[in-house]
Amino acid sequence: MTQRVATCSCRQLMLRTTEEPLRVSICHCHACQRRTGSVFGVQARFREGSVVIRGHATAYVRRGDTGQSATFHFCPVCGSTLYYRLDSVEGLIGVPVGAFANPSFPAPNISVFEECMHPWVALPGEIEHVE
């Protein structure tokens, strides 16, 4: 059985999953750029039933570029976002891939909001492009 552990920077908040991600995506939307402080976000989606969360989180609801809402859960001590739920997709939890701190984590297989992508970003050739 696969087990993956994601933590915030101070390790007060932890998430463990026992399944492979359903999808790993790169999102170039402006909201993800602001959330991560980078030019895109990379996140993995898991079935909620395969995830155990320990520690205390603070929630922040934001409206994305599509107008739909997402609730981000971050550590109130260090500020790291550890997971989120999309209002439009029930039963799934998104986790920023960097929270796993594991270079062998599966590569992204889909890229979204490429109209916001910085022109110097190069993507893997086999990635699916969704507008």
Asked if the model's pLDDT at residue 8 lies above 90, the reply is yes
Average pLDDT over residues 71-93: 94
pLDDT at 63: 82
Nearest to 80 by CA among 116, 48, 56: 56
pLDDT at 52: 97
Is the pTM here over 0.85, yes or no? yes
Q: Say if residues 116 and 100 touch (Cβ distance below 8 Å).
A: no
Using one digit for the tens of pLDDT, what is the confidence trace for 15-62? 999 999 999 999 998 888 998 999 999 999 999 999 999 999 999 998
Asked if the model's pLDDT at residue 64 lies above 80, the reply is no
Four-point Cα dihedral 56, 103, 109, 51, nearest 10: -30
pLDDT at 65: 67
Tell me the Ramachandran region of residue 32: left when phi exceeds 0, alpha when psi lies from -120 to 50, beta otherwise.
alpha
Sequence-separated (6 or more) residues with CB below 8 Å from residue 47: 19, 22, 91, 92, 93
Sequence-separated (6 or more) residues with CB below 8 Å from residue 119: none
Asked if the model's pLDDT at residue 1 lies above 70, the reply is no
Phi, psi of 115 (to 5 degrees): -65, -20
pLDDT at 80: 94
The percent of residues above 90 in pLDDT, for the chain, comes to 78
